[in-house]
């Protein structure tokens, strides 16, 4: 029975993940799903010491405690597990960029890293260029696929038993499920998971949301530390009881500030897209999919163009909605005002020529694109959702607007266009906030401290058990 545990939890997730509205199908399957979950609960918790109790004490400043964790002279071997990097037409997602920054800046004298991934040519090449090893498991894909998921778990278990890493660090929602199940089966005692974002948002089907919460609580039972990339995700993880408070920490998403310095960069947007040097450009960076909601960006453009007919709009990214969006702008007769740039390897240079940055997402972790835009001293207009509202200080570094509200979005953008001084002031405030709060060096330092703390606590537990 034990060999089927990975299959069933992935099947359980699949039942609801494709159901956007409650229906009789999901309701009828609820008792069966509950039974399967109980079976998994029994399998995973058999022989595990300790209880899943939540202390009544308030959460302290965990980061400060971590930074006082003693260093260790032993080289620690870390195995990172993350899903296939290519998301449709996107070469990498935010989680992959986050991991690359960690691998690039980690202390190589004390940590050795391997990455187990489903693939992605650019992602794998960049890891190898940093000098780290990649192990490709093609079945480790982003979408839920019970057969591939089962195969991925078995392959990763075999890899972990051969490699014997000191610690497992999983990334992405799917990677966290597959990786933590595999680590559990391989009897790896130290497991870290980074929450880059939840598998639901405020507008999600409540049944699906409840299921994701239940699965995360289940996996949290054998997670030593849950790293949350934003304070709101951290607070939500505690509210949803994913792990006890002492097993969660907020380490904000960060960027390499040396790449985003407006004083040292020259833009190439005007030359690349044959724009006049005095053109005012409003831009958005992100995958063109439902979660990023680019149609709201396009619809907002129709309102803005009525008052500012010479404005240009640029969408930097690609995805499954591109053809639909291109058809929409033609039908709205604004195709001469909107540029579909596709993916770019040089986002900093493009951001340098943008006047206002926009993000219309329905769901985010802690959006790197907003941090990058702020680092380039651009005012931001973004949706008022988890992640966005933690980075953007409303009225100071930009404006927050309700999701799926093109008229509200247009109003905020036009307020900036009418007031160039406010635009510049918000840009300066955003740059200051990015530099002070989102430096990758601090993110890496705190992550290293998490690794050391877990290793130290685990060794103490082993020593105590040996003396009993």
Per-residue pLDDT of the chain (468 residues; tens, 9 = 90+): 444 444 445 544 444 444 334 444 443 444 435 434 433 543 444 334 333 333 333 333 444 445 444 455 579 999 999 998 765 556 688 899 999 999 999 999 999 999 999 998 889 999 999 999 999 999 999 888 899 999 999 999 999 999 999 999 999 999 999 999 999 999 998 999 999 887 665 656 778 788 888 899 999 999 999 999 999 899 999 999 999 999 999 999 999 999 999 988 887 889 899 999 899 999 999 999 999 999 999 999 999 999 999 999 999 999 999 999 999 999 999 999 999 999 888 899 999 999 999 999 998 889 999 999 999 999 999 999 989 999 999 999 999 999 999 999 999 999 999 999 999 999 999 999 999 999 999 999 999 999 999 999 877 665 555 445
Q: What would you measure as the largest C-alpha separation in the chain, in angstroms?
A: 77
Residue 454 sits at the vertex; the CA angle it makes with 452 and 457, to the nearest 5 degrees, is 105
CA 65 centroid distance within chain: 25
Strand-pairing partners, residue 117, are 82, 136
Distances (CA, A) of 293 to 148, 172, 403: 29, 20, 9
Does the domain spanning 257-438 belong to CATH 3.40.50.720? no
**Distance from C-alpha of 283 to C-alpha of 267, rounded to nearest angstrom:** 14
CA 447 centroid distance within chain: 16
**CB burial of residue 146 (10 Å; 0-12, 13-18, 19+):** middle
Neighbour order of strands in the sheet with 76-82: 133-136, 111-117, 76-82, 167-171, 191-195, 225-228, 248-250
**Distance from C-alpha of 435 to C-alpha of 5, rounded to nearest angstrom:** 45
Q: Evaluate whether 2-41+73-254+442-466 and 257-438 have a shared fold.
A: yes
Reduce the DSSP state of residue 435 to 3 states and report it. helix
Give the residue extent of every domain in the chain: 2-41+73-254+442-466, 257-438
Q: Are 375 and 255 in contact (CB under 8 A)?
A: yes
Selection from 230, 229, 223 nearest residue 247 by Cα: 223
Q: Are 415 and 399 in contact (CB under 8 A)?
A: yes
Does the domain spanning 2-41+73-254+442-466 belong to CATH 1.20.120.790? no
Strand-pairing partners, residue 340, are 315
**Distance from C-alpha of 143 to C-alpha of 459, rounded to nearest angstrom:** 36
Q: Are 249 and 228 in contact (CB under 8 A)?
A: yes
Tokens in use for 305?
Answer: 């163009």
Selection from 306, 4, 328 nearest residue 150 by Cα: 4
**Distance from C-alpha of 154 to C-alpha of 59, rounded to nearest angstrom:** 37
Residue 368 sits at the vertex; the CA angle it makes with 366 and 372, to the nearest 5 degrees, is 135
For 104, other C-beta atoms within 10 Å of its C-beta total: 16
Selection from 356, 363, 305 nearest residue 329 by Cα: 305
| 76 HSE (CA, 13 A, CB side) | 24
Q: Write down the pTM of the prediction.
A: 0.79
Tokens in use for 429?
Answer: 């405030």
Residue 260 sits at the vertex; the CA angle it makes with 90 and 430, to the nearest 5 degrees, is 105
Tokens in use for 200?
Answer: 């639901």
């Amino acid at each position: 029975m034990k060999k089927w545990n990975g299959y069933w939890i992935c099947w359980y997730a699949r039942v609801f993940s494709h159901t956007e509205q409650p229906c009789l199908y999901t309701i009828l399957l609820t008792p069966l799903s509950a039974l399967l979950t109980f079976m998994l609960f029994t399998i995973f918790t058999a022989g595990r010491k300790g209880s899943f109790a939540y202390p009544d004490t308030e959460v302290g400043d965990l980061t400060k405690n971590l930074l006082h964790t003693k260093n260790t002279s032993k080289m620690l071997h870390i195995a990172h597990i993350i899903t296939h990097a290519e998301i449709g037409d996107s070469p990498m997602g935010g989680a992959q960029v986050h991991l690359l920054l960690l691998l690039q800046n980690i202390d190589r004298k004390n940590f050795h890293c391997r990455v187990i991934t489903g693939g992605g040519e650019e992602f794998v090449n960049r890891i190898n260029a940093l000098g780290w090893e990649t192990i490709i498991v093609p079945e480790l894909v982003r979408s839920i696929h019970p057969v591939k998921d089962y195969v991925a778990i078995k392959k990763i278990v075999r890899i972990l038993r051969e490699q014997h890493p000191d610690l497992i660090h999983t990334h992405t929602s799917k990677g966290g499920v597959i990786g933590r199940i595999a680590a559990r089966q391989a009897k790896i005692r130290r497991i870290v998971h980074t929450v880059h974002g939840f598998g639901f948002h405020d507008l999600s089907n409540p049944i699906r949301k409840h299921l994701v919460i239940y699965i995360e609580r289940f996996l949290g039972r054998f997670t030593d530390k849950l790293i949350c990339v934003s304070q709101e995700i951290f607070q939500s993880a505690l509210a949803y009881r994913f792990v006890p408070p002492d097993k969660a920490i907020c380490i904000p998403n960060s960027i390499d500030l040396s790449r985003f310095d407006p004083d040292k960069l020259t833009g190439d947007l005007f030359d690349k897209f044959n724009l006049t040097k005095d053109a005012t450009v409003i831009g958005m960076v992100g995958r063109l999919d439902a979660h990023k909601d680019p149609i709201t960006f396009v619809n907002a453009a129709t309102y803005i163009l009525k008052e500012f007919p010479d404005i240009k709009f640029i969408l930097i990214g690609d995805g499954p909605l591109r053809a639909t969006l291109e058809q929409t702008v033609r039908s709205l007769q604004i195709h001469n005002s909107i540029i579909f740039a596709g993916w770019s390897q040089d986002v900093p240079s493009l951001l340098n020529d943008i006047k206002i940055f926009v993000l219309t997402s329905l769901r985010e972790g802690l959006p790197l694109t907003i941090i990058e835009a702020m680092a380039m001293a651009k005012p931001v207009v973004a949706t008022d959702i988890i992640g966005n509202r933690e980075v953007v200080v409303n009225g100071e570094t930009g404006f927050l607007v309700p999701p799926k509200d093109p008229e509200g979005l247009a109003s905020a953008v036009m307020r900036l266009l009418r007031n160039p001084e406010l635009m510049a002031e918000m840009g300066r405030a955003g740059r200051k906030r990015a530099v002070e709060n989102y430096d990758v060096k601090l993110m890496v330092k705190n992550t290293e401290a998490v690794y050391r703390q877990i290793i130290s606590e685990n060794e103490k537990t082993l020593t105590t058990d040996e003396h009993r």
